[in-house]
């Protein structure tokens, strides 16, 4: 069996799964700290506040901050929609 045909070890599969799970749940895959914002630097995306590199691609847009009063009004309007 060549190296290309060798089965992937369970440890490698678990590591990749944990890495992707951290990214999808908003955690830094290196230090597991909550990511407050993603910063685009060239092709790389970094997690803030820790500045660990997460992946290459496009950073997710920063969510708009909505005043709590307006947020409450939006939720009420959504509940009223049929």
Q: How far is the C-alpha of 29 from the C-alpha of 38, rounded, in Å?
A: 13
Q: What pLDDT, on a 0 to 100 scale, did the predictor assign at position 30?
A: 94
Q: How far is the C-alpha of 82 from the C-alpha of 43, rounded, in Å?
A: 43
Q: What pLDDT, on a 0 to 100 scale, did the predictor assign at position 58?
A: 93
Contacts of 66 (CB under 8 A, 6+ apart): 74
Residues of the chain where predicted confidence (pLDDT) is lower than 70 = 1-3, 81-82
Q: What pLDDT, on a 0 to 100 scale, did the predictor assign at position 81?
A: 67
């Amino acid at each position: 069996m060549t190296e290309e045909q060798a089965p992937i070890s369970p440890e490698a599969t678990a590591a990749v799964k944990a890495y992707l799970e951290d990214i999808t749940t908003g955690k830094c895959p290196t230090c597991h700290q909550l990511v407050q914002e993603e910063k685009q630097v060239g092709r790389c995306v970094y997690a803030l506040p820790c500045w660990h590199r997460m992946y290459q691609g496009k950073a997710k847009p920063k969510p708009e901050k909505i005043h709590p009063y307006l947020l409450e009004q939006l939720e009420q309007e959504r509940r009223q929609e049929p």
